[in-house]
Structure 1
């Protein structure tokens, strides 16, 4: 039986349902004049609670070993994610399932798909908060894709830039005015203030788009660089980029049992298979606008070594 076909069917179906739910919820809350932050937090919490309680906890309890093997699938196979899922569902996960459960394997596979799909939907919506806030404010649902932009941050997309110009038309006007040599000194001063404000927001969004695992990798690279190989100006920028992260267990747990310490210590070697390339690619794309040569060079070098 083609178990991947079952998995893919329920993954796509669940993601489409989540997308419709989020759109409907945003439109409904907009009519109630809710601020977007409140709406965003509510949707993120709903998605998290739904998949974690109804699926994740149930899978961990009823099919613990099978679920763990599926989550660790990239430890067993290299290659495209669809291929890895196909192989692990037909071998390791199936064998483990037959040993610990006599219920329907097809039902188990469908639950895996729904859990993975809703988890990805929640992750995406949470990380793209500023993008969806513009859609919410402007009712521009033609830009509602509910998936990451490929190879770029959402702040670099034409859709985001277009919506920013619509929401803040003075920014576009001031940019155009700055190109006009006949602009008065007062207008030039105003333009400078607007440009500074715009650049501030752009870089803030770029920094906020980094995930914790990407920050841990950057800390590892910084720590492994030879002395004086990093400019002080770049070092200061990196401190702001890696900034804070969510896991506070570093303050009260034994270092040996804290995952962030392991990730910072091992760097890219903490990951295996396709996950290595995924995190390098994500970090490279997000670091590109900052033009920190020492870091980008190390990331590119890592990528070449992983691809060998």
Structure 2
């Protein structure tokens, strides 16, 4: 009888452990340099909600906004090494690691945001996603970041000639450094979080970014001249550590990919609203927005393309992007 009781107790304990295991939740960490409420932050939070719902609560996502886990350069290394599982980051810092990511970072490669959507939702986007696996990452989604334009504290920019000698902060990307040099200005790569104080103290004259970043980082307070040259319409990428992704069951992998896809539509909707809201806000605060003749800027990009589009793979990708209508 005692032996039966021991067996029953063991069985009860095993059942309890199995139930606990089935109900256990794996929490994944995701980083974003932008503040709470920013469209990319909300999109990843929405992704997390979908994953939690569709896996019955087995997975949850914690989004660390406002660069809580570090600036983008740091968090890229964290996600590649598996310290964190997820990261939303600009495409440009990957240009030296994922060759194919060079193409969407090229100045004036996209004619409009709609053109960018068609490209990134299609075969070229799939090609770029596949390339990220070589860097130990799974590219789950491409998010909007609008068009990037120059802004500075010194003067309005109406032509390439007005760029001469100005110092601009750029993303840590050789393409961006070369783009600024081709326009006769000086590029200073630095973390996003250092831009405000650097403009304020005169270390740099300005930077380049979209309206929501210009707004939420309060750069409009120290750099009033915003020139709508729209040199890049650079998508951002939401990545997952490949080893962590590979540990998921095929069913869960499908859930994660679909949740990421579903988050794209949400992010685009949020982005369009935020972009309009931010432009209105900075104009009301006194930002001076000018629209230069883009052709001079486009013509100046020839050496940038010659330097960075160096092999047949990239040349074909550029042609494929230009062919998308």
Same fold (TM over 0.5): no
TM-score by length of 2: 0.25
Q: Higher helix fraction: Structure 1 or Structure 2?
A: 1
What is the TM-score of this pair, normalised by structure 1?
Answer: 0.26
* Structure of greater relative contact order (alpha carbons < 8 Å, 6+ residues apart): 2
